[in-house]
Amino acid sequence: MFAIEEVNRNPHLLHNTTIGYDIYNIPYTEKNILYSALLWHTGIINPLPNCDCGHKRKSPVVLTGPSWSASAHIGTLLQLYKIPQLTFGPFDSTLNDQGTSNSLYQMAPKDTSLSLAIVLLMLHFSWSWVGLMLPDDHRGTQFLSDLRENMESNGICIAFSKMIPGTWNAFSNALWKSMEKIEESSANVIVIYGDIISVEGLIRHIAQLLVTWKVWVLNSSWDVDNHSDYFMVESFHGSLVFSYHHEEMIEFMNFIQTVNPYKYPEDDYLPKFWFLFFKCSFSKFDCQLLENCQLNASLELLPRHIFDPTMSEEGYNIYNAVYAVAYSLHELSLQQIQIQPYINEKGMVFSPWQLLPFLRTTINKSHVKGHTVMDGGRNLDTKYDILNFWNFPSGLGLKVKVGTYSLSSYKDVQFSLCEGMIQWPTRFTKIPQSVCSESCRPGLRKAAQEGKAVCCFDCTPCAENEISNETDMDQCVKCPESHYANAEKNHCLRKSVSFLAYEEPLGMALTITALGFSVLTAVVLVVFVKHRDTPIVKANNRSLSYILLLTLFICFLSSLLFIGQPRTATCILQQTAFGILFTVALSTVLAKAITVVIAFKATVPARMVRWLMVSRAPNFIIPFCTLIQIIICGIWLVTSPPFIDQDTHAELGHIIIVCNMGSTVAFHTVLGYLCSLALGSYTMAFLSRNLPDTFNEAKFLSFSMQVFFCVWITFLPVYHSTKGKVMVAMEVFSILASSIALLGLIFAPKCYIILLRTEKNSCPGIRHKKHSKSNIHLNLVKN
């Protein structure tokens, strides 16, 4: 009515021509769906197909809707007569098949991007667990396919998908059973897709259940039945509705204010409406006349849940359809005037099929007010308004625009939403969450649950030195070698460079020990030099004692090469100095042991023994053994020398700078050679342990070699099981321990005699001791 009155008032459109309309109801049963169409076509109550009974005021265009099935059935009849058909219901791809019907035009835009708009809404609120309820027809199947594709590509899962047959109504047992499972579902967000006809029974059923703990997302505005408004307080309050964007029709709201039964007496609905809601009474003489009505009664005064004064989705399509017909008639009239300048006084005379090309041109050129640009029945620009349904308190019934979504022909997507304006269902006090599993906080990663959707997962901590700095990460990220994961495992921290330093307690203790015993060794050497002419010093080859003490002094100091920041020079000197110095020390001990054996257990003639002792032949063992070790170290340095290395795994948060020995084979060869020298020294010392010498040190030499073996045999497994600074400290400790064993076990008894028992370190004491032993020996022989 509003559109036709606008067209008729427009002086530039259809001059001297007035358009009108007829309204026919469509029965609910499909077997009678063509009755109204035949009644309109034939003009008789009992219509006969293919018969025209002189019905002259036949409309050239038919507007059908909102049900797509009704439009499809009526279209089969209209197609036979080439009568233009414009549908104002939701777009349906089967109706738009030009090969089937080239006289049908759909005014609603094609909602190809609606699935993407809904997915963007889910992503905005991080809803990843969503239920779907769709009509069980080709439109529902196609929308499910599009929505599933967009959801899966964005990591959103379908909690359940329920197809609603068209035969179900609000009281169907199957619908009641399905709703019980849906109510118990963990999905708090449910999408309902369909037109008013297909989901009417579902909407009424949900209203009766008073479901207050679900957020409903719908694809179009729907009318609230006036007999169930009190149910809507709880069920659909806070729902989100996607509605096609249209220009605001202020003129239509002004038009609503003027509508009343007295202005349109031919309208059969308005008197009944006034009777129900404005407490009017019907006249006793005529049911179309009203009495005792409220003053200034108007449709805009009614609550929104009873009558919404804004133009509905179908209303916009009807409005656009009327204008499309008007523009087409206008172009047709202009063409007829050009062909026949003197038009018949009876007005325009044409067949309905003649209007078809003008309708196609008019719709494609988008002469229609607020209509979407079309291309072959496909919309190029799509824009949705996101509406929030407010129905608390009861009867409020407001649809408030809270956001927009648009997709241009250049695939430019724009999505905006004002969260502060949204009212959620009464059960929620904050933005609802709809997830199968709670989000994994940073520091955790998702672990899929076997046999369930990808949105259902467990949260497991990241592995060692791995982080996740975002929520719901599928995999943790390993920190670089120069960084380490913090305690929460959500951030990589830079490692600090560390080494066995003099300042830290361990380094300081080893340094003090090394310096202390080096000073002690120097003191022992001074004592021996000072008492060099005493029997105990001379009896044990004092030159070898000097060499051994000097070597031990340097051994103690060489351990300091392992402490402090490693450098290339110190890394090379650490192992070579260790190997060569201990070779000198052990070969000196070997020379001492061989000297004792030659002196007391030689099987060679006395002259040869005397020559060996005088020529100091055992002393040549030292350079010979040392030369072999120097050759081994030389080969080591040439083939694979030690180098500076970084140990990033030994200590959390630290990069330990250490000296890598280069070749483990060379290191174990050096150590093995030292053990062989120690074994030889121990063997010689063991053989001469009971020889009759006043100052025989063979026992002490064997004890020192035993300690040396224990230290270095224990060193190997411990050394290879530790890392970083502890490994370095272990080698320093082994060097100090073995050096202390040699110093203590060999020289401590001698220092004790030199400093505290001087009477034993003199010639009279030695002679007296020997004389006592001889007497005992003689007595034993006599007996």
DSSP 317-384: HHHHHHHHHHHHHHHHHHHHHHH-SS--TT-----GGGGHHHHHHHHHHT-STTPPPEETTEESSEEE
> If DSSP codes are grouped into helix, strand and coil, which group holds residue 283?
coil
Q: Output the pLDDT for position 526.
A: 92
- Other Cβ atoms less than 10 A from the Cβ of 446: the count is 21
Give the pLDDT mean for 240-268. Answer: 85
Q: Could you tell me if 348 and 332 are in contact, meaning their C-beta atoms sit under 8 angstroms apart?
A: yes
- Residue 313 CA to residue 316 CA, distance in Å, equals 5
CA distance 282 to 270: 12
482 alpha carbon, distance to own chain's centre: 24
Most confident residue range from 66-70, 440-444, 588-592:
440-444
Dihedral pair phi/psi, residue 229, rounded to 5°: -65, -30
Task: Give the pLDDT confidence score for residue 520 in this predicted structure.
Answer: 94
Average pLDDT, the chain: 79
pLDDT for position 174: 63
Give the mean pLDDT of 310-337: 87
Q: What's residue 232's pLDDT?
A: 46
Residue 314, CB-side half-sphere exposure with 13 Å CA sphere? 16
3-class SS of residue 128 = coil
Give dist(CA 2, CA 14) in Å, integer: 17
Q: Copy the structure tokens of residue 712.
A: 């270095």
C-alpha torsion angle, residues 111, 383, 250, 238 (rounded to 10): 80
The CA distance from 380 to 627, in Å, is: 92
pLDDT band per the 50, 70, 90 thresholds, residue 496: confident
For tokens 């070779």, the residue is 583
Average pLDDT of the segment spanning 539-556: 86
pLDDT at 169 over 80: no
- Is the pLDDT score of 208 beyond 70? no
Compute the average pLDDT of residues 147-168: 84
Of 223-227, 622-626, 727-731, 774-778, the poorest mean pLDDT is in 774-778
* Span 455-469, average pLDDT: 90
pLDDT at 226: 40
Tell me the mean pLDDT in the region 118-127. Answer: 92
Q: Could you tell me what percent of the chain has a pLDDT over 90?
A: 15
Least confident of 314-328, 364-378, 565-579: 364-378
CA distances from 623 to 618, 629, 743 (A): 10, 10, 21
The SS3 call for residue 764 is helix
Mutual angle of helices 356-365 and 313-339, in 10-degree steps = 120
Among candidates 394, 18, 411, 70, which has minimal Cα distance to 232?
A: 394
Mean pLDDT of 286-310: 75
Q: How confident is the model at residue 553 (pLDDT cuts 50, 70, 90)?
A: very high
Is residue 523's pLDDT more than 90? yes
**pLDDT given for residue 516 in this prediction:** 93
Q: Between these two residues, 283 and 274, which has the higher pLDDT value?
A: 274
Under DSSP, is residue 134 helix (H, G, I), strand (E, B) or coil? strand
Cα(11)–Cα(605) distance, rounded to whole angstroms?
151
pLDDT bucket at 375, cuts 50 / 70 / 90: very low
The predicted-structure confidence for 336-357, as pLDDT tens digits, reads as follows 777 766 555 556 778 888 888 8
Confidence of residue 693 (pLDDT cuts 50, 70, 90): low
pLDDT digits (tens, 9 = 90+) for 42-53: 777 777 776 666
Are residues 501 and 724 in contact, defined by beta-carbon separation less than 8 angstroms? no
Query: What is the mean predicted confidence (pLDDT) over 533-539?
Result: 78
* pLDDT tens per residue, range 89-120: 888 877 766 455 578 888 887 777 888 999 99
Would you say 218 and 241 are in contact if contact means Cβ atoms under 8 Å apart? yes
∠ CA 636-642-648, rounded to 5°: 145
Least confident range from 437-441, 584-588, 665-669, 688-692: namely 688-692
Identify whether the C-beta of residue 33 lies closer than 8 Å to the C-beta of residue 70.
yes
Q: Give me the pLDDT at residue 461, please.
A: 93
What is the identity of the amino acid at 727? Answer: M
pLDDT for 46 equals 74
Give the three-state DSSP class for 189: strand
Given a cut of 60, whether residue 358 has pLDDT beyond it is yes
Integer Cα distance of 218 and 204 in angstroms = 14
What pLDDT is attached to residue 35?
Answer: 81
pLDDT band at 448 (very low <50, low <70, confident <90, very high): confident
Q: What is the pLDDT of residue 37?
A: 81
Q: How far is CA 686 from the centre of its chain?
A: 71
Query: By mean pLDDT, which of 390-394, 502-506, 726-730, 732-736 is the weakest?
Result: 390-394
Q: Which has the minimum average pLDDT: 316-320, 502-506, 631-635, 758-762?
A: 758-762
Contact predicate 755/527, CB 8 Å: yes
pLDDT in tens, 220-235: 755 544 434 444 456 6
CB-CB neighbours of 286 under 10 Å:
9
> Higher pLDDT residue, 295 or 151?
151
pLDDT top residue among 343 and 26: 26
- Taking the CA atoms of the chain, what radius of gyration do you get in angstroms? 53
Is it true that the peptide bond before 623 is cis, omega within 30 degrees of 0? no
Instruction: Please tell me the distance from the alpha carbon of residue 362 to that of residue 337, in angstroms, as a whole number.
Output: 19
User: For position 608, what pLDDT does the model report?
Assistant: 52
Answer for the pair 734, 715: CB distance below 8 angstroms, yes or no.
Answer: yes
